[in-house]
Structure 1
Amino acid sequence: MKRLPYLLIIFVLISFISGCTPQKVEAPVELTEEIRVASLKGPTSIGLARLMDQNEKGESNNKYNFTMAATADEIVAAIGKGDLDVAAIPANLASVLYSKTEGKISVVAINTLGVLYIVENGNTLDSIEDLKGKTIYSTGKGTTPEHVLSYILKSNDIEVGKDVTVEYKTETTEVATLLTTNEDIVALLPQPFIAAAQEKNENIEVRFSMDEEWNKLDENSSLVTGVVIVNNEFLKNNKDSLDKFLDEYRESVDYVNNNLEEAAILVGNLDIIPAAVAEKAIPLCNITFIEGSEMEDKLSGYLKVLYDAAPNSIGGNIPDEGFYYKR
């Protein structure tokens, strides 16, 4: 009888251990070791500069494999092959990809608002009305710069071909050269090309921000230059990692906007644009981080304007709700 308590204890222990033995369950999806992130050299990479630097030093929460491409076509090709998880690309291209891939990507944030400005080598423009009778040199015939300029001019009762002439060049650098070497030239240029031109000619002045002119016409939407997209297959398996990335991205953008000199050095060291140019350009590049419902409002309004001008510029359709990731 004295053995009973010991047998009972052993039985209880065996039962407890058996109860705690893990049951065979389906293995969880393994998180990607590194998040593969691509961006374009220029404004859409500037907001990432701090995070890129932290990643190189091993100070970021996630591990990242950052690449910068010279053209959007390189990024599109990599997305098509499944070689990228996240990318910073032009806003209209995100819409095109959503249509082409039948919803296999989502937009997670706006990272750059308007970077287009009316500038002149001279002193003749005080208001948008003063563009009447002028020739504006620009690039982007048939693309977003033309659609944005036409929308703003038309909304201010300025008719292209009648009140103003727009002469399109093939390369942005060609317009910048005209601006730096000729007086009384008016141009539509993006940052950081303006800052680079001002380094060569101090008489070049920014007259109008297309971003500000847009906001005068529509307070709900915005002129959106760049967005961040995610491969939905990656999102499905790595939502927590994506959300951590978004938090780190927001912190990086805040750092860039609030620490100009240090951020310009980072941008130069990362070979995004030269540091001296970056210090002048960053305040005018409208680097931002907007997500959720505000992102949808601003971006959907912008895409509607592009759709009305040229449906193919956004893929032929205005994206549905599935286009927007809201955590």
Structure 2
Amino acid sequence: MIKYFCLFLLILCSCNKTEKRRNVLHVAVLRGPSVIAFAKMIEDSPEIEGKRLSVDIVDSPEQMQALLIKGEADLAALPMINAANLYNKGLKYALLGCPVWGNLYIVKKKDTDVLSRETNTLHVFGAGTTPDILTRYYLKQNGLTYSLNYSFSTPREISQGLLSGQVQTAVMAEPFLSLILRKDSTIYIQSSLNNPDSLSPGFSQTAIVYAPALQGKRAELDSLLNESCQFAVSQPEQTIRILENRNIFIPGSLTPESIERCQIKYLSTAEAQESILDFLRLIEKYEPKAIGGKLPDNGFMPEKQ
């Protein structure tokens, strides 16, 4: 009798879990600047046709890839090159839009010790990924010559090198950039890597992709994402409180200036198609394997709403 009762409970719990899953749309967001664009959505938990959007923070690209392969995310925010790469490998999540248009900057330490300066070395993280590619593109466009050093593989490691004096010039990303600027007044921003020209919103570094089942909900999702991005830009202090209260960012790691430096603005694929294609062509030119060896086909950016 006990055996049958336990089996009944197991079936009941399974049914409840399935029913709960049906009433929730899971939004996976890679930890980093992308999360800032989702603060209002995290706070409000909006609904689409009775289904609540639940934002889940993902700590690594590998974890994100696993979620998408298993179909456990209905929406996901991840680097554009990862989205294109996964699509080319057969994972048919389509592109909804772009919320973050750049958070990469070259920083330098002031000439506090001329003898110890690395005068022609630029430390870069993420070899073969967006920071590395945009650094090489920026240097070529501006006729600059640096010896690129990849010995520090993450922005955290580079920030520690800058603070310790091991590194003099480096590419940095938010939120680490704000932290080091606050801790060391001898570090300053030399230039931005985020604007290909004066007419562009920036580089479409971040993608929001959606599962095929949400094809008919694109207009509603675009509206919610646009509202959430506008909130981050117009209410930075409140955005910071939301993210800190939920322990997504440690207190003091975000400032209104750091949010501004992330260039948050939601544009749908229809609005940003040319900018997205320009960015993907740039990646294909410098590091084709980063997007799976080719540009994604038209299914990556479907035209029909």
TM range (shorter): 0.7 to 0.9
**Residue equivalent to 1:26:** none
Q: Cα RMSD between the aligned structures?
A: 2.3
Rounded Cα–Cα distance in structure 1 between residues aligned with 2:99 and 2:302: 14
Q: Larger radius of gyration, structure 1 or 2? A: 1
Distance 1:184 1:39, change over 3 A: closer
Is 2:209 the counterpart of 1:211? no
Q: Which amino acid aligns with 2:72?
A: D
Tell me by how many angstroms 1:228 deviates. 0.2
Residue 235 (structure 1) aligned to one of 214, 226, 229: 214
Q: Map 1:84-103 onto structure 2 (within 5 A).
A: 84-101=73-90
Gapped regions of structure 2 (runs ≥ 5): 1-20, 113-117
Q: 2:181 corresponds to which residue? A: 198
On the 8 A contact 1:221/1:301 being kept in 2, the answer is no
Q: TM-score, normalised by structure 2?
A: 0.83
Question: Helix, strand or coil for the counterpart of 2:205?
Answer: strand
**Distance (Å, rounded) in 2 between the aligned partners of 1:221 and 1:305:** 16
- Cα contact 2:105–2:172 (8 A) shared by 1: yes
**1:33 maps to which residue?**
23
The answer to whether the Cα contact below 8 Å between 2:103 and 2:174 also exists between their aligned partners in 1 is yes
Tell me the secondary structure at the aligned position of residue 296 of structure 2: coil
CA contact (8 A) 1:112 1:224 kept: yes
Q: Across the two proteins, how many residue pairs are aligned to each other?
A: 275
Range with greater deviation from structure 2 (149-158 or 273-282)? 273-282
Any idea what SS the aligned residue of 1:63 has? Answer: strand
Separation in structure 1 between the aligned mates of residue 83 and residue 69 of structure 2, nearest angstrom: 13
Amino acid corresponding to residue 262 of structure 1 in structure 2: Q
1:293 CA displacement: 2.9
User: Which among 38, 54, 59 is matched to residue 70 of structure 1?
Assistant: 59
Q: Secondary structure at the match of 2:197?
A: helix
The equivalent of 2:206 in structure 1 is 226
Task: Note the C-alpha offset of 1:245.
Answer: 2.7
SS of the residue corresponding to residue 150 of structure 1 reads: helix
> What SS does the aligned partner of 1:276 have?
coil
Q: Which moved more, 1:106-115 or 1:242-251?
A: 242-251
**2:161 aligned with 1:178:** yes
**1:99 Cα deviation from its structure 2 partner:** 0.6
Percent of paired sites with the same residue: 23
Q: Distance in 1 between matches of 2:286 and 2:108?
A: 26
Report Cα offsets for 1:130-180 as digits up to 9, x if no partner. Answer: xx952111211222221111111112223xxxx321111123222101112
- Residue 299 of structure 1 pairs with residue 250 of structure 2: no
SS at match of 1:64: strand
Please point out which of 246, 253, 270 is paired with 1:277: 253
What CA distance in whole angstroms lies between the structure 1 residues aligned with 2:56 and 2:139? 37
Aligned positions of 1:43-82 closer than 5 A:
43-55=33-45, 60=47, 62-82=51-71
Q: Counterpart in 1 of 2:171?
A: 188
TM-score between the two structures when normalised by the length of structure 1: 0.78
**Unmatched 5+ residue regions in structure 1?**
1-30, 125-131
Q: Partners in 1 of 2:248 and 2:182 — Cα distance?
A: 17
| Separation (CA, whole Å) in 2 of partners of 1:32 and 1:297 | 35
1:177 counterpart letter in structure 2: Q
